[in-house]
Amino acid sequence: MEAPKDEIIRSLAILLFYAALFVIIRLTKSALDPDERRIYGLLYLGWAAPVFIANYLLSLVGLESPMPWYVNFMHTFAWIGLCLGWLYLGVRREPLWVQFVVFATFSLVVKVTEQKLFGAWISDHFFFIFHGNWAHLLGWALADGLYPPISTAGLALLDRLRTDNRGLKT
């Protein structure tokens, strides 16, 4: 079955929007060195697929708005996987509060845009505690502000595991 024309147009629009934001994100870091490419790959693998699955599961229990699978796919694999990994590498040396504000702000802009284009992020609560759609949008945007410290901790854990495994004799 073929997707309706306006779905294709909206999908192209969000991909162009992500691309435009990526151009802005590249201002923080124009290129990646070989070690950063490895980190970028790890961030992509560590965030894209798990968040794709988590978004679906959270929607089943009412903690996140349901969204069509292809919107979730674009959001997680293009926005979170490609864009946020690069943004992390560009701002990781900034103070933690700056990283938090940058990620939360980009996240809010993306969520509002996805809401306007696809009707995503329409829930009327955040974790059943804070009520209203803005609470939902802001709550998830603020949660996304935790991407930098979670990524730093995850990368440190992987590095430690790699270092520990090098010391083992086989």
- pLDDT above 90 (res 166): no
Quick check: is 57 in a domain?
yes
Quick check: is 3 in a domain?
no
Quick check: is 151 in a domain?
yes
What is the total count of domains within the chain?
Answer: 1
Residue 62 backbone zone (phi > 0: left; psi -120 to 50: alpha; other: beta): left
pLDDT in tens, 92-149: 999 999 999 999 999 999 999 999 999 999 999 999 999 999 999 999 999 999 999 9
Q: What would the two tokens of residue 31 be?
A: 């290129």
Q: Is the dihedral of CA 78, 82, 85, 87 positive or negative?
A: negative
Q: What would the two tokens of residue 125 be?
A: 């609560």
Quick check: is 24 in a domain?
no
Alpha carbon distance 7, 112 (integer Å): 17
Task: Determine the structural domain holding residue 98 and report its residue range.
Answer: 34-160
Quick check: is 104 in a domain?
yes
What pTM was estimated for this model as a whole?
Answer: 0.91
Quick check: is 14 in a domain?
no
- Give me the pLDDT at residue 54, please: 97
Quick check: is 7 in a domain?
no
Quick check: is 20 in a domain?
no
Alpha carbon distance 51, 81 (integer Å): 9
pLDDT in tens, 59-88: 999 999 999 999 999 999 999 999 999 999
Beta strand 125-126 with 130-131 is antiparallel
